[in-house]
Chain A
Amino acid sequence: MPDRPDPPAPALPWWRAMLGDVQFWIPVTVLVAGLLLLGWVA
């Protein structure tokens, strides 16, 4: 059985891929907004 080929190398390091991922900024934005809200209600 032939060896499975290695997966393609990512175009970017993981942290840059993460910073360019729109989905990453949704929880980050909500977290910052939550902290601001907490500062207001507390």
Chain B
Amino acid sequence: MTGPAPVPAARLRQLQAVGVLSGFAAGAWLGAAEAPTKAVVLGIPPVAISFLMVLGVFLARWSLPALIRGTANVGVDVRRAPHLVVWALIAGCLWAVANTLTIFAIRDIGLSIAFPLWNANSLLGIVWGALLFSELRGAGRARWLGVAGGATLMFGGAVLLTLASPSQAPAGSAVRGVAAALGAGVLWGTMYIPYRKAYLTGMNPLSFITFFTVGELGMMTALAFTYLGGPVGAWRELADARAVLFWLLLGGFVWVVGDLFQQYAAKYVGIGRGIPLSNTNQVWGLLWGILVFGELAGANQTTYGLVVGGSLVMALGAAAIALSPAPGAEHRHWQEAAQREAARYGVDPSYVGARLSGDDPEARRGRTVWDWLIVAAATAVFAGVATSAQPPQLAFHHGWAAGLVLALLALLGAGGWALWRATRFG
């Protein structure tokens, strides 16, 4: 029996470059998602903040795919690989439970201890990628070291940055807090299994997130009802948060742009490389905090040293991963893993092979009236909540904000253009 035809070297290089660029763009946008939430003053329960952001995420996850590619393509994916809908729902549930665990971890042990613990999720992603999906197999010792060493360096850089981040004093059980943070890391790390499964089998990232967000919102709604006193309590929190609702929805929207890039990174460079690259979001989040919101004003030299040192170590780790793309031999193992999935679930091998190579011969161009209705409804909700939004009462450096927004737009333009040119958002 002959295996799938190898992807030409030039095409493989192009896909790897697109994946790496998507990973960096993901980091920038995921980090920027923290900025709108700074406008939210204390007094709103963290679970309510998380629930409201997920509402914004839901709106964005349905409207952006409709705008970018049209929802007709989602139907094509579902008919080809219906099992992936279940995988996407499970991944969404994993995200919601992990996110809620981080809230309790911060409450019990503080951000500076909790963050590095759950941030280990990218290391778990490498383990799952290698164990289950043949990532790094055939990559050679130097690239294996580049990825594993780079991710470890990034983890170390993240620890330094977290130590420098402003954080509230913990006020709870250390054992429960550590367990919650580690648990969140395991849940997020395991969430990448459905990601990789979907993309090896050929599902489009825009289709995957459409179902992912149903699991995410469903689970988050259940958790919000549990911790906010049922539907009535959750509704009361929603009403009380009217003035900041826009900022939370905006945070969710920005987060989805970053997450979309992360999904493409996971598709084209795998979870072992894509997830650590998108974890550069911590540097971007800190840049917004320090430059735009003046969070470290008056801090001592040690703190600035931690920020500079942590950022450099993280950048070094990210560079090591970016410079260790999957060679042809490794990609052949990905193709074999994809063919195993195709055989197990009865998916057309030629469909799986084409999608893994970034081709999409069945793609339907153009939008339907439903797509425009979805986009219009999401826009109307954003416009509606914007009318009752109150401007944030905090220090804000417009010059730095403009600079960071320009950087975001540049990465959006470069990443979006590269994805369109190489894969037509496939």
Contact = CB atoms under 8 A, between A and B. Distances in A.
Given A30-B187, A31-B187, 12 more contacts: A10-B344, A14-B345, A15-B83, A18-B83, A27-B94, A27-B191, A33-B183, A37-B183, A38-B104, A41-B101, A41-B104, A41-B177
Nearest to A22: B132
A14 B8 CA distance: 32
A27 B187 CA distance: 8
Contacts of A38: 97, 100-101, 104, 180, 183, 223
Contacts of A9: 346
Contacts of B180: 37-38, 41
A35 B177 CA distance: 15
Interface in A1-42: 4, 7-12, 14-15, 17-18, 21, 23-24, 26-28, 30-31, 33-35, 37-38, 40-42
B199 to A, nearest CB: 14
Nearest to A35: B97
Given A14-B82, A27-B91, A41-B179, A7 B346 contact: yes
A36 B197 CA distance: 25
Interface of B: 81-83, 86-87, 90-91, 93-94, 97-98, 100-101, 104-105, 108, 132, 176-177, 179-180, 183, 186-187, 190-191, 193-194, 197, 223, 227, 342, 344-350
The 10 closest A-B pairs by CB, nearest first: A10-B346, A34-B97, A7-B348, A30-B190, A14-B83, A41-B180, A41-B176, A37-B183, A34-B187, A41-B104
A38 to B, nearest CB: 6
Chain B interface, >50% SS class: helix
Interface of A: 4, 7-12, 14-15, 17-18, 21, 23-24, 26-28, 30-31, 33-35, 37-38, 40-42
Contacts of A21: 344
Nearest to B178: A41
19 contacts: A7-B349, A8-B346, A10-B344, A10-B345, A10-B346, A12-B346, A17-B344, A17-B345, A26-B190, A27-B90, A27-B193, A30-B186, A31-B93, A34-B186, A35-B97, A37-B101, A37-B179, A38-B97, A38-B101
